[in-house]
Amino acid sequence: MAPLRRLLLALCLPAMLLPPAVPFPAPSTDWAACRDLSQRLSRLLGTMKESHRVLVSEDMEGECAPHIRCSDACDPSTLDTNSTLCLQRILQGLQHYQARLGSDIFATHPQPELKAVLEELLSLVQVPMRSCRPPPPPQADSWAQPLLQHGTLERLRSFTAVMSRVFTHGASTR
Ligand SMILES: *[C@@H]1O[C@H](CO)[C@@H](O)[C@H](O)[C@H]1NC(C)=O
């Protein structure tokens, strides 16, 4: 047998022995795991003591704003029919907050636990990425850092509340 044929046969034989091709399932989001993680994130955020009650306003509007809006298809009935858009928005938010927690703003108060949970959630949400332009990072002058930390955590808290509801609903219907 010609070496090439032998090689091809050797390569293809295992494939021929497999049962007939089943369409490969696309990786799908593990809703229950996401629900549990987002609830853990909520609890972590809830236990953090913060002394600053002043919110620094940041320009958070724009296509990549890290909050979930009504138009993001995260309501229960849309979620049940097609969760893609909502999961894409959640993915964008998770990436945003992961970047924020890793930025200069948190240099003096790193948040390894929060980062770890965000990291895990990022690995679980399986949806094609929709790119968008993130809001520019705020100037992190050292005097402003505590305020920016606080603002980021406040926003992450409300983002997490919505995300948690989305995953809880999704996990209950899947
Ligand atoms: C779900 O929505 C996404 C984004 O709008 C779209 O690309 C996709 O084709 C939809 N999937 C189904 C099954 O309708």
Would you say 131 and 167 are in contact if contact means Cβ atoms under 8 Å apart? Answer: no
Which residues line ligand 1 at a C-beta cut-off of 6 Å? 82, 84-85
pLDDT for residue 78 is more than 70: yes
How far is the C-alpha of 58 from the C-alpha of 4, rounded, in Å? 63
- 148 Cβ contact list (under 8 Å, min separation 6): 56, 58, 105, 138, 140
Rounded to the nearest whole angstrom, what is the distance from the C-alpha of residue 87 to the centroid of ligand 1?
Answer: 11
How far is the C-alpha of 123 from the C-alpha of 136, rounded, in Å? 24
pLDDT value at position 94? 94
DSSP character string of 94-153: HHHHHHHHTSGGGSSS--HHHHHHHHHHHHH---------PPPPPP--GGGHHHHHHHHH
- CATH number reported for the structural domain that contains residue 33 in this entry: 1.20.1250.10
Pocket-testing residue among 28, 71, 79, 84, ligand 1, by greatest number of atoms within 8 A of Cβ = 84
Residue 12 lies in a domain: no
Global pTM value = 0.75
pLDDT in tens, 123-154: 999 998 877 776 666 766 778 888 888 888 99
pLDDT value at position 52? 52
How far is the C-alpha of 66 from the C-alpha of 68, rounded, in Å? 7
Residue 87 lies in a domain: yes
Residue 34 lies in a domain: yes
pLDDT value at position 67? 75
How far is the C-alpha of 72 from the C-alpha of 87, rounded, in Å? 9
Number of domains in the chain: 1
Among the listed residues 38, 44, 28, 93, the one whose alpha carbon sits nearest the alpha carbon of residue 64: 93
Give the structural domain span for 117.
22-49+63-131+140-173
Question: Which residue's CA lies nearest to atom 6 of ligand 1?
Answer: 84
How far is the C-alpha of 133 from the C-alpha of 123, rounded, in Å? 21
Rounded to the nearest whole angstrom, what is the distance from the C-alpha of residue 77 to the centroid of ligand 1?
Answer: 14
pLDDT in tens, 12-62: 444 444 444 445 556 789 999 999 999 999 999 998 866 555 554 555 555
Would you say 151 and 74 are in contact if contact means Cβ atoms under 8 Å apart? Answer: no
Q: Count other C-beta atoms under 10 Å from residue 157's C-beta.
A: 15
Q: Mean pLDDT for the chain? A: 80
Question: Which residue's CA lies nearest to atom 11 of ligand 1?
Answer: 82
Residue 150 lies in a domain: yes
